[in-house]
Amino acid sequence: MKRSLLLLCAALLAATAPLAPAQTNDAVPVDFFYDALSPYGDWIYTPNYGYVWQPLEAQQQQGWLPYTDGSWAYTDAGWTWVSNEDFGWLTYHYGRWIRLLQGWVWVPGYEWAPAWVSWRQTQGQIGWAPLPPEAAWVPGVGFGGWTDSYYDVGPAYYNFVPIGMFASRGSLRPFILDHNRNFTYYGQSANITHTTYQPNVMNHIFVGGPDPQRIDGLGSNQVRRLTLRRDDEGFRREWLERDRRGGGPHHGGGGFSRIEQDHLVVAAPAISRAPSHALPAKVREPFHQAEADRGWRGAGDAQSLERLRQQQREEMARTRPPNLPEKNLRPATSTTPPPAFGRVLQPEERSGAGGTLRGEPRHVTEEVRPAMPLSAPTPPGIPPKKAEEPGLPHRERGAEGRQPGPRPGENQAPPAVVPPPQTSGQPQVPHGPPPGTPANRVSPHVPTPPASDMPNAPTPPRGVPGHPGHPGRGPEAVPQPPPAAPVAPPHANPAPLPPVQPQQPAPIHPLPPQGGNPPHTVPVAPQSAPPGHPHGQGKRH
């Protein structure tokens, strides 16, 4: 009886014990972003934000803005941005955006979320703005109506659309209202941001904002409702297959973000927080003065600006959490400047100053191969076009309709090589036979200059006589006379000199007739002539 009771108690304890956590895949390093985004834009070095990325569209399309070419869907994790851009599966779900004086750039971050935005709403418009890098995710705090004031999100950061168009599918870019009126809409709006921690949703981040039921009753389109489904295994398989193919840019993210019936399938790999010293394969330029434009330019007079500032302070006073989070001032990437700009770095240069953590090699699932340059026939700077997949929304490119072109500075013709002028200390080389020389023979009196004296001759390797850096041959070197014949000792009888033979002219062989064979004669080696001499080539002897 006692044994039965013991067995029963053991069974109950086993049933009520918490389940062991499922084994998770290794996190990918933060420098995974470098190779994933290089085909679609340029990496830039900044001292305060680390390495930031700028899409080609931001460089080539005036007025380009993040969170515009795509649509909103309401999922089990709240409002989720469905991007039409090939890089959107990554840049609108990780990291933050900020507008520097040089344009919009993306700053890498660790956490995945359906979107990182702040929300505002008027009687007739809905607006959203990207959160800046200082907006740190703290699960116990989240983001609320105090966000704009605390992180200094100005009116120009927002994209406002009519409520009736908010549920449009395809692309919201054609429906975004004139940004010159943003300050008016901002003054008439209220902050409705409500991003919170929820344990039962993907990555535990729920993005609240506009009421989807109210939007359904105001527009011709119904809010698209989808269920999020994570596909990290598919992400890893595709990237491992990419490595086996030898690297190269990935074609538009492939299955990293797609719609399958009522499911939004996304890749959300965990990003390692281990310190990374790796650098991008190529850094376009540095922004030493990375001054941020907080979205207040064009606010009008000082009185209007102060009125909007006061509105933000009142919103913060009403919605302020008990403990405000610390602002994020630590970049996720390395802050070491690159060894060079505008060229592809060598693997040892990309490893940075510290290499991997503790000098250990990365796990095979963490390895990300360097991005390869785009090969022909794809023009440089244009990501390869991805085939449409079943279930994907139609990708509208907006009113511009322009494809990204080459990066600034690429496809430029190399500068013409100008031969250096001859100096006064160098012998002048005649460019023709002496007067009286027959046209069909080479004059034996023309000296053959060294190769380094010819105008278009290649420069000999370093360390070889004739190279500009060789101690015996410089630009100003004067030709030295040939060494004198050795002088016999005074007690030795000098050897008799051979008699001087008269120089015989080279025999002249007649040219064979057109199409015939040359006469059966013994060929005589011609005198050497300088390369490019009119009588040094093209003659048959």
Q: Report pLDDT for 341.
A: 96
Alpha-carbon torsion (141, 143, 144, 146), positive or negative: positive
**42, β-bridge pairs:** 54
In three-state form (DSSP H/G/I as H, E/B as E, the rest C), the secondary structure along 313-365 is HHHHHHHCCCCCCCCCCCCCCCCCCCCCCCCECCHHHHCCCCCCHHHCCCCCC
Q: What's the pLDDT tens digit per position in 447-479?
A: 444 444 444 444 444 444 444 444 444 444 444
Integer CA distances (angstroms), 237 to 271, 289, 340, in order: 17, 40, 33
Q: Report pLDDT for 477.
A: 43
Q: Percent of the chain beyond pLDDT 70?
A: 57
Q: Report pLDDT for 255.
A: 54
End-to-end distance of the chain based on CA atoms, in angstroms?
Answer: 120
Q: Report pLDDT for 242.
A: 59
Q: Report pLDDT for 298.
A: 77
Q: Report pLDDT for 238.
A: 65
Residues in the chain predicted with pLDDT less than 50, given as ranges, are: 1-24, 248-254, 354-404, 409, 411-479, 485-495, 500, 506, 508-541
Return the structure tokens found at 448.
């053959």
8 Å CB contact between 167 and 211: no
8 Å CB contact between 195 and 206: yes
